[in-house]
């Protein structure tokens, strides 16, 4: 797997570009605020053509560049149905305080034309030759999703799990009980192997073994 990271200049959101080894097509995960130009450079440098976009959850700092990407190319956007409503009103779904904080970005937003929500607890996706398992992981938002690549032992966790901490639950759609249930699953070896690399929505990479041993929100679950 080819895995490239573009860090957004606003809030440091990690946007990932994923392709099969020697593949020409790629998948973009969580294109946040201010990454569109950087992504174009990555595509050109590595001779890649985006085939689809995955969204771990519908917060604006993980979706903002969808407008530009999907205006330039006819790209399908995949996300859990629990968060699909956020693409229609990304500012309003943040709540009044954060909506006011990010109001400057609302004027340029255009909802992608080809949105393909999926439902259920787990969904198998094969995009651009990359096999991924979409695992519903609510708590941070209703539709928060982990994207697990079993062939490469990598999981993209969005704002569910970070190195040393976890996502907040005090925003609209957040739920403490659901987050605890999600984290309990992640704390178990039955859910994902410990050697799996964690690629979070913000900050440095980690492994599930490391987080299970040291993350205070996973220890003891």
Integer-rounded Cα radius of gyration of the chain: 16
Sequence-distant (6+) residues with CB within 8 A of 207 are 194, 195, 196, 197, 198
pLDDT tens for each residue of 169-189 = 999 999 999 999 999 999 998
Q: How far is CA 166 from CA 25, 88, 101, 157, in A?
A: 32, 26, 23, 10
Q: What are the structural domains, with CATH classification, of the chain?
A: 2-214 (3.60.15.10)
Task: State the pLDDT at residue 118.
Answer: 97
**Residues of the chain where predicted confidence (pLDDT) is lower than 70:** 96-101, 103-107
Helix (H) or strand (E) holding 135: strand 130-136
Q: Which of 38, 34, 85, 31 is nearest to 56 (CA)?
A: 31
pLDDT tens for each residue of 17-37 = 999 988 899 999 999 999 999
């Amino acid at each position: 797997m080819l895995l490239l990271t573009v860090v957004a200049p606003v809030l440091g959101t990690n946007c990932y570009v994923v392709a099969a080894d020697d593949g020409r097509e790629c998948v973009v995960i969580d294109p946040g605020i201010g990454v569109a130009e950087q992504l174009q450079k990555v595509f050109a440098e590595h001779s890649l053509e985006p085939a689809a976009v995955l969204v771990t959850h519908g917060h604006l700092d993980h979706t903002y560049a969808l407008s530009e990407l999907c205006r330039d190319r006819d790209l399908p956007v995949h996300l859990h149905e629990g968060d699909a409503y956020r693409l229609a009103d990304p500012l309003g779904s943040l709540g009044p305080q954060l909506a006011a904080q990010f109001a400057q970005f609302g004027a340029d937003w255009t909802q992608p034309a080809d949105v393909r929500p999926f439902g259920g607890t787990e969904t198998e996706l094969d995009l651009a030759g990359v096999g991924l398992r979409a695992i519903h992981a609510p708590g941070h938002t209703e539709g928060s999703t982990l994207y697990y690549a079993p062939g490469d032992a990598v999981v993209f966790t969005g704002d569910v799990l970070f190195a040393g901490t976890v996502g907040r639950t005090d925003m609209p759609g957040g739920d403490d009980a659901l987050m605890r249930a999600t984290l309990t699953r992640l704390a178990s070896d039955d859910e994902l192997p410990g050697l799996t690399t964690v690629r979070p929505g913000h900050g440095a990479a980690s492994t599930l073994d490391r987080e299970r041993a040291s993350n205070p929100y996973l220890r003891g679950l």
